Amino acid sequence: MIRLGVRFALAGGREAVGRLALIAVGVAVGVGLLLATIASLHAINAQNSRYAWLETGFSGSDAPAGSGQATSAAAPPAPSVASASASASAPASASASATADGGTASDRLWWRLRADEYEGREIGRVDVAATGPHSPVPPGIARLPKAGEFYASPALARLLARTPRAELGDRFPGVLVGTIGSAALPAPNSLIIVIGHAAAELAPQSDVGQVSAISTTTPASCADGCAFGVGISADALTLILSVVAAALLFPIMIFVGNATRLSAARREQRFAAMRLVGATPGQISVISAVESGMAALTGAVGGFGVFYAARPALAGIPFTGQPFFTGDLMLGVRDVVLVAVGIPVVAVVAARVALRRVNVSPLGISRRVTPRPPRAWRVLPLAAGLGELAYAAYVADIGARSSTSTSVEAAVFLSGVLLTMMGLLAAGPWLTMLCSRSIAGHARRAATLVAARRIADNPQAAFRSVAGLVLALFVSTCAVGIITTIGAYNDDAVGSAAPGSATILQVLDDDPAGPRTPTGSTMPADVRQRLASIPGVAGIALTRRVPGVGSGQHGSSIVVSCAELASVPALGRCPSGAGHVTMNPDFGGGIVAGTSPLSATVWPRFGGSDAELARSSLSLIAVATSGSSASVERVRTTLGLAYPRTYPPLTLTEFRAHGSWRLKGYRRLANVAIFASVPIAGCALALSVAGGLADRRRPFSLLRLAGTPVGVLRRVIVLEAVVPLLATAAAAIGTGLLVAQLFLRGQLYETLHFPGAGYYLVLLAGLAIALAVISSAMPVLARTTGPEAARQE
Amino acid sequence: MSGPESPAVGNMPEPLLVAREISMSFGPTAALRGASMSLAAGELLAVMGPSGSGKSTLLHCLAGILVPGAGEISFAGQRIDSLDEKARARLRRDRFGFVFQFGQLVPELTVEENIALPLLLTGARRAEAIGRAGGWLERLDLAGLERRRCGELSGGQAQRVALARGLVADPAVLFADEPTGSLDSLTGEQVMDLLVAGAREQGMSVVLVTHDPRVAAYADREIVVRDGHVVSGELIAP
């Protein structure tokens, strides 16, 4: 029977071949998307592993700093190492520490990791000094740079070549002696530099430690005490993987399932004829399975072709914030076998299950078995998921949360969200049935009646066509709700104001190096003159921390003169007649006490004496500029050279961005979920619409013969997709907002701010895509239900 | 060459539906070659002929489903072959009824909703449409099946539902294309009895395409189509 099935599949004429080709194409697209998703998950891990060497010197890595000053991991959030687009090359795996001559490291290495910034892009800076010929060598370079030398990543080398030295190059002492290889680069466009020093020069400096090896601990495997903001932590990785898997994999599987169901009704006529000549139902099942399996296998092979053809373009999408190397998007043997074997098996099983619904008799399709209607118990998983999240929020509300670890909290939240998503999928058919029965009972127009009855007849199939869109709606609503709220608490609007991007701050007393970096009470005259001579600089304000005055982040507020404050208006204002004021700002949030924007704040008078000010050390230097890139970067270079610190001078906007780096990560994840899942869901809907048309070709064409306008049939098709979508979209949106509220209460002790206009635009865009997909089937409807179609039937 | 129709006996009413010298081809195949016929108001006309003779094509042309390549078709004195598709669809919806051999019912609708469908398409209120549909359930021995899905009916029951749907809108002409073709003889007789009774009751004309002489025997008159021509048309005494 298998051989017969193969013959039928291949020798069934143009229509049969066309049908198989259609299924194969649909499966190929779905498999390509599935492979891209699987490969992306591998790529995230591969990229994250190349951050490992940057954990060197941190106490949580396998290469902590030994004698000498240890690198602290308790500092405020460090800017993560970011990058911009560049050409890709296959990366080698990160190498363990080795010496320049290939021997084992026995000499120690002075090591310091710092962050720098250029035009909003982060630069990872590693200062090294060998203590002997066998000091460990970081990956990606052949040897350690000597004093006066540095290695730069290819992207940074190109940037240095085209940027005026005063804006960037002057920050890095020495000359470029080579580029860093891809084994040490998280992304093709990473900006990383390794600067060589003499040991005697580097050792006395702040934030420097001695290490005997280069770290191989990835950010995801570092539980505590590693570089903050470098790479992706284990919790964040789990979140990314879970969201990507749930938001993409399910819509893809729906798409593949719908593809394999195409033209099932047509095949049933052939099976009826075979039954007439004596084939048993079991033999029919085998033949049907062979046809479906062949189409799916062909599609699966095609899917691998689609994936490999799209791989270079896919690698360039920065959905973790950075693009991948093409080679990062790899598939393991297990993945290949799982997809190549699994997809045809799923197709075969789906075909056999579908045939069970139809009792194929020698006289044709004798009875179409109506599936049992979904029951109310289907809402239980949804209730369970929401209940879990509500309990977690309650625990946080009563203050019992501190006794649980972060990883447990993350696990509870994630499992609650995943259970809620599965609950939406389980409850969807039941909600669809309720809605459609209600509509059918009150329908006044023929199109509404036909559509509602069809949905009520098989709400599972109706919901399946829009399930992907419903999931995308839930994920996007949840994400936008969380992001909007966090953004509101951080006053996003302030950061976008011009002064925010034109004022640079160098924080001096927030350095983990502490007292090893004395700041003095005033700025050296040559530094002030260099700053003032930069075109575009409008003002300089120095703040001092006066012990015992006010209460701030470090137990005292900072004091600034009103004359200088007036030249840097982004920091606030003085009351009339005041000589000095005390400030207590939160630059990471950019607002004061959660209400006023920084620039509108009127600070209180400072009641101390000039003598007190003269004895106090500098806390912060603020420079107002015209906002041009050249002036900002030259100021950054001048301040960075005069006051070398672990963290570079940053504009107010950059401060806020770093303070909300987690928010940026959530936004990126939400974008991936929305912009990837919506098109996939749209394609699944298109297949479902096409399949529904094929199944009802005869009754529709005879209705047209009897005078039914084609517009009525169009309305039927549209309503059959729109009704389940709207019925379940309301539940998805409501659930998404509720989950967002529960997350905010449970994790951040905040209350949901309802999304703004952007969210509704996303909603409308999703609906527009759905309508566009449905509309694309209308020409097919008119053609396949015309008089000729009925006559040929 | 078309054959002449038999002259009517007694006073013949003005023909309701007239076809003159109509020809229709599908590619190189000529399905109708100069066929002519007429249908009087209230008349039941059987169209017979072997398979492939063009009888279904003739029915489709008379019903305004197809536009002939040549010739004229008039209904109630108005040319219909020159109307556009929208106008012909409106005519089919408002003035004609149809019964096909199989597959015309919407499987997801109940029996009474299927019967009411033509009324809903013309804009009738749902309650009125369901009410009028319910009236046909008794007459066609479908009482008790109102809420059944059409997929749950026997062949005979489904064909009676299709008949009720064809009659519910009080069409001027009912076109039936092999209405008993997929039924056993006993069930077919039942369906034909009901079709004729329903048509007579409404005073509607019927064009009945069939290859079965027993079905054709129900008609007032019979024409034979052969090789695209109407070769004979005899008045069958009522």
Give the model confidence (pLDDT) of B157-200 as tens digits.
Answer: 999 999 999 999 999 999 999 988 888 888 888 889 989 998 89
pLDDT for A75 equals 38
Query: What residues contact A764, with CB distance under 8 A and at least 6 apart?
Result: none
B66, B107, B125 ranked by CB distance to A787: nearest:
B66
pLDDT tens sequence across A771-791 = 787 787 778 777 777 766 666
| Structure ipTM over 0.90, yes or no | no
pLDDT tens digits, residue range A215-261?
Answer: 998 888 887 777 766 777 766 666 666 666 666 777 777 777 777 66
The winner for highest mean pLDDT among A88-97, A172-181, A675-684 is A172-181
Flag whether residue A357 sits within 8 Å of chain B, measured between CB atoms.
Answer: no
DSSP-assigned beta bridge partners for residue B206: B44, B174
Contacts with A699 from chain B: Cβ below 8 Å: 103-107
Residues of B in contact with A373 (CB under 8 A): none
Determine contact: A793 vs chain B, CB below 8 A: yes
Task: Give me the pLDDT at residue A411, please.
Answer: 73
- Considering only CB atoms, which chain B residues are within 8 Å of A703? 104, 106
pLDDT at A68 over 50: no
Whether residues B105 and A457 touch (CB distance < 8 A) is answered with no
The answer to whether the beta carbons of residues B234 and B222 sit under 8 Å apart is yes
Coil, strand, or helix at residue B209?
strand
A312 in B contact zone (CB under 8 Å): no
Among the partner residues A367, A443, A699, nearest to B126 by beta-carbon distance: A443
Question: Closest residue of B to A701, CA-based?
Answer: B104
Kindly determine whether residue B65 and residue A787, on different chains, have CB atoms separated by under 8 Å: yes
- Encode pLDDT of A675-734 as tens digits: 777 777 777 777 777 777 777 777 888 888 888 888 888 888 888 888 888 888 888 889
All residues of chain B having their beta carbon less than 8 Å from the beta carbon of residue A698 are: 103-104
Look at A193-197, A265-269, A526-530, A611-615 and tell me which has the smallest mean pLDDT.
A265-269
Is the pLDDT assigned to residue A409 strictly greater than 80? no
A367 contacts in B (CB within 8 Å)? 151-152
Do the Cβ atoms of B108 and A444 come within 8 Å?
A: no
Under an 8 A CB cutoff, do B89 and A457 touch? no
Domains in chain B, start-ordered, CATH in brackets? 12-232 (3.40.50.300)
Mean pLDDT, rounded, of chain B? 86
Cα separation of A701 and A691, whole Å? 15
Nearest CA of chain B to the CA of A742: how many Å?
41
Mean pLDDT of A105-133: 91
SS (H, E, C) A660-693: CHHHHHHHHHHHHHHHHHHHHHHHHHHHHHHHHH
* pLDDT of A210: 92
DSSP state of A45: H
Q: Do A703 and B118 touch (CB under 8 A)?
A: no
Of the listed ranges A228-237, A401-410, A562-571, B75-84, the least confidently predicted one is: A401-410
Q: What is the mean pLDDT of residues A403-411?
A: 62
> Is A370 touching B (CB cutoff 8 A)?
yes
Size of interface A-B (CB pairs under 8 A): 83
Mutate to test the interface with B, among A372, A695, A702, A717 (most CBs of B within 10 A): A702
Comparing alpha-carbon positions, the chain B residue that sits nearest to A455 is B108
User: Which residues from chain B sit within 8 angstroms of residue A704, using beta carbons?
Assistant: 89
Q: Is A792 on the interface with B (CB under 8 A)?
A: no
State the first-to-last Cα distance of chain A, in angstroms, to the nearest integer: 29
Whether B105 and A367 lie within 8 Å, measured CB to CB:
no
Q: Classify A174 in phi/psi space as left (phi over 0), alpha (psi -120 to 50) or beta.
A: left
Residue A318 pLDDT > 80, yes or no? no
Q: How far is A334 from chain B (nearest CA, A)?
A: 44
Tokens of A312: 């270079």
Whether A413 shows a pLDDT value over 70: the answer reads yes
What does the buried/exposed string (b/e) look like for A574-599 if buried means 16 or more CB atoms within 10 Å of the residue's CB? beeebebbbbbbbbbbbbbeeeebbb
Euclidean distance between CA atoms A385 and A397, whole angstroms: 19
Helical residues (DSSP H) of B101-176, grouped into ranges: 111-121, 126-139, 155-167
What pLDDT does B14 receive?
Answer: 76
B16-45 residues touching A, CB cutoff 8 A: none
User: Do residues A31 and A304 lie in contact, with contact meaning Cβ atoms separated by under 8 Å?
Assistant: yes
Residues of A in contact with B113 (CB under 8 A): 449, 453
Task: Supply φ then ψ for residue A770, to 5 degrees.
Answer: -60, -45
DSSP 3-state of B205: strand
B120 vs A: CB within 8 A: yes
Question: What per-residue confidence (pLDDT) applies to A497?
Answer: 42
**Minimum CA–CA partner of B119 in chain A:** A446
Residues 759-788 of A with CB under 8 A from B: 787
A368/B113 CB distance under 8 A: no
> A705 vs B107: CB contact, 8 Å cut-off?
no
Contact assignment for B113 to A449 by CB distance below 8 Å: yes
Taking all residues of chain A, what is their mean pLDDT, rounded to a whole number?
A: 79
List Cβ neighbours of A680 (8 Å cut-off, separation of 6 or more): A33, A248, A251, A252, A255, A468
Measured distance CA(A771)–CA(A769) in Å, rounded = 5
Instruction: Give A467-523 pLDDT, tens digit per residue.
Output: 877 887 888 788 788 777 877 766 544 444 445 678 888 888 765 544 445 567 788
**Considering CB atoms only, which of A444, A699, A707 is closest to B92?**
A707
- Looking at the complex, does the CB of residue A443 fall below 8 Å from at least one CB of chain B? yes
Q: With an 8 Å Cβ cutoff, are B106 and A712 in contact? A: no
Alpha-carbon torsion (A507, A510, A515, A516), positive or negative: negative
Query: Looking at the DSSP assignment, which residues form a beta bridge with residue A571?
Result: none
Interface residue of B106, B128, B153, B167 to substitute, partner A, most A CBs within 10 Å: B106
pLDDT at A454: 87
Report pLDDT digits (tens) over A345-362.
887 877 777 666 555 555
Highest averaged pLDDT of the listed ranges A19-33, A155-169, A569-583: A155-169
For A317, residues 6+ apart whose C-beta sits below 8 A from its C-beta are A323
Indicate yes or no: CB of A698 within 8 angstroms of CB of B103.
yes
Cα dihedral across residues B189, B194, B197, B202: positive or negative? negative
H or E segment at A167? none
Cβ distance B93 to A706 less than 8 Å, yes or no, reads yes
Angstroms from B220 CA to nearest CA on chain A: 24
